[in-house]
Amino acid sequence: MARRSDHTREEQYEMVLAAAREIVVAGGLEALTARKVANAIGYSPGTLYNLFDDFDDLIVHLNGRTLDELHEHLSSVPRTQDPMRDLKRLLRAYLGYLEDNRNLWNVLFEYRLPNNRSLPDWYVNKVAKVLGLIEVALSPLCPSRDPDTLADSARVLWASLHGICSLSGSGKLQVVSDQTVHKMAETLVDCFVSGLQTVHE
Amino acid sequence: MARRSDHTREEQYEMVLAAAREIVVAGGLEALTARKVANAIGYSPGTLYNLFDDFDDLIVHLNGRTLDELHEHLSSVPRTQDPMRDLKRLLRAYLGYLEDNRNLWNVLFEYRLPNNRSLPDWYVNKVAKVLGLIEVALSPLCPSRDPDTLADSARVLWASLHGICSLSGSGKLQVVSDQTVHKMAETLVDCFVSGLQTVHE
DNA sequence: CGTATATATTGAACGACGTTCAATTAAACC
DNA sequence: GGTTTAATTGAACGTCGTTCAATATATACG
């Protein structure tokens, strides 16, 4: 049996990512298997390998979609020129997305490519796009306008926030409530922004 | 075949964790399998289930050992009363341990228990012990001596540092060198400590 | 219109994984 | 020495990602 013309390659790609998304939303990464995705779209497992190099590749594409979603969600927060205010709003939006899309967020950050493989350029660009939002918010704090320093600061803040969400989410910080996570994240932003001002003077 | 008296239960436990450690050091988490551990200690896979609930349990015990090692390594840094100096030294020691024990560190933080299982108390205590080292270093900065605030600050700093190391280690921050990681971590400590002082005034 | 070519699709098969458990063996006890 | 007890085995189960010869259909051509 072969050569069905039910769907184009692009349609299949969309179907796969949509199915993968649903499966992850419902059951997390551990629920996401090749057979289950194939079954959900009405094709056999082998067909997935026409569209993706391997299952890791599929997950990376799914994560790309999640990054797009996250970027869109964060883009909707209004910007003033007050870094502290803007960053607090970004933080709220970020934590909001995390709460509403826990499993997608988990896959986004917990999934690691096997040993020596590195993420594709288009993926790295999506990350950079999100980081750009933080850079914009931070930029009034970097008087020297040194783009490298600004980028570094944004990455530090982004990564730090990730650390808080990640460790607390995996139960490795004896953090009990989302409330505590929010408080810790606020502490981070408060201290970091305030410290950044001091350091740059 | 059964009832060998080659080793006591305790000896077996030690052998398993030593073998698991070696396997992880050599090949990371993906190389760690039940059959390989069993083979390394000269027993069959089934024997592992006399010592551990399941393979997850084994990994948690291995991570417990890693936490002990990390605590011991961090304990060796001398303490002054200068938070910034102490934290910088702790940071250096931390990054040193990470560089020397990459795969162990990766397993420590990347491994997540399946869905709803939570880490055992003895494990949480080991985490708290490491956090205690940061609390001690931070304590001169918390004039109110409010233990909860102090604990939160320590956790924020710890988690933030983890975020930097974790994201850069997985290639999700387009960070190229260990040098950059070190620089970002220094930025974090600088800003956080400086900000903490400002916020508390 | 029929035939040849090309390709999308399948599903069984492979090896590896964690895990289980009846069978087996040796230690411990009386 | 016979009986009980328990540690150990290794084959087996169901799962996983992945492969690939076989197959069926769409397309191109004569």
Tokens found for residue A27: 């059951």
Q: Which residue is nearest to nucleotide C10 (CA to C1')?
A: A1
Cα gap B126→B3, rounded to integer Å: 34
Residue A50 backbone phi and psi in degrees, to 5? -80, -25
Give the confidence band of A200 by pLDDT, cuts at 50, 70, 90.
Answer: confident
Which CATH fold would you assign to the domain B67-199?
Answer: Tetracycline Repressor; domain 2 (1.10.357)
C1' (C3) to CA (A5) span, angstroms: 22
Q: Which of the 10-49 residues on chain A come under 7 Å of nucleic strand D at their beta carbon? A: 32-36, 45-46, 49
Q: Name which of A187, A21, A201, A70 is nearest B138 in CA terms.
A: A187
Q: How high is the pLDDT of residue A188?
A: 98
Q: Which residue has the higher pLDDT, A31 or B115?
A: A31
Tens-binned pLDDT, residue by residue, of chain B (201 aa)? 666 778 999 999 999 999 999 999 999 999 999 999 999 999 999 999 999 999 999 999 999 999 999 999 999 999 999 999 999 999 999 999 999 999 999 999 999 999 779 999 999 999 999 999 999 999 999 877 788 889 999 999 999 999 999 999 999 998 889 899 999 999 999 999 999 998 876
> For residue B47, which nucleotide's C1' is closest to its Cα?
D8
Q: How high is the pLDDT of residue B116?
A: 79
Q: Minimal Cα–Cα distance from A26 to chain B, Å?
A: 12
Three-point CA angle A162, A171, B153, nearest 5°:
60
- Where exactly are the structural domains of chain B? 1-51, 67-199
Q: Minimal Cα–Cα distance from A135 to chain B, Å?
A: 14
Cα gap A65→A21, rounded to integer Å: 9
* DSSP notation for A85-151: HHHHHHHHHHHHHHHHTHHHHHHHHH----TT----HHHHHHHHHHHHHHHHHHGGG-TT--HHHHH
- 3-state SS, residue A68: helix
Residue B84 backbone phi and psi in degrees, to 5? -60, -45
Which of A48-52, A130-134, A171-175, B122-126 is predicted least confidently? A171-175
Which CATH fold would you assign to the domain B1-51?
Answer: Arc Repressor Mutant, subunit A (1.10.10)
Using CA atoms, how far residue B101 sits from A48, B18, B22, B131, in Å, is: 37, 14, 11, 19
For the domain A56-199, what is the CATH code? Answer: 1.10.357.10
Q: Name which of B191, B167, B200 is nearest B181 in CA terms.
A: B167
Q: Tell me how many helices (H) and strands (E) chain A has.
A: 9, 0
Question: Do A56-199 and A1-51 fall under one CATH topology?
Answer: no
* A26-34 contacts at long range (C-beta below 8 A, 24 or more positions apart): A26/A103, A27/A103, A28/A103, A28/A106, A28/A107, A28/B115, A29/A59, A29/A103, A29/A106, A29/A107, A29/A110, A29/A111, A30/B114, A30/B115, A32/A59, A32/A107, A34/A58
**Which of A119, A167, A192 has the CB atom closest to B192's CB atom?**
A192
Q: For chain A, what percent of residues have pLDDT higher than 70?
A: 98
Cα gap B35→B41, rounded to integer Å: 10
Which amino acid, one-letter code, is at A167? L
Within 7 Å: CB of B192 and strand D?
A: no
Instruction: Report the pLDDT averaged over residues A147-158.
Output: 93
Q: Minimal Cα–Cα distance from B76 to chain A, Å?
A: 23
Q: How high is the pLDDT of residue B1?
A: 60
Q: Tell me the pLDDT tens digit for each residue of A96-105.
A: 999 999 999 9
Q: How high is the pLDDT of residue B6?
A: 86
Q: How high is the pLDDT of residue B50?
A: 96
Cα gap A183→B141, rounded to integer Å: 19
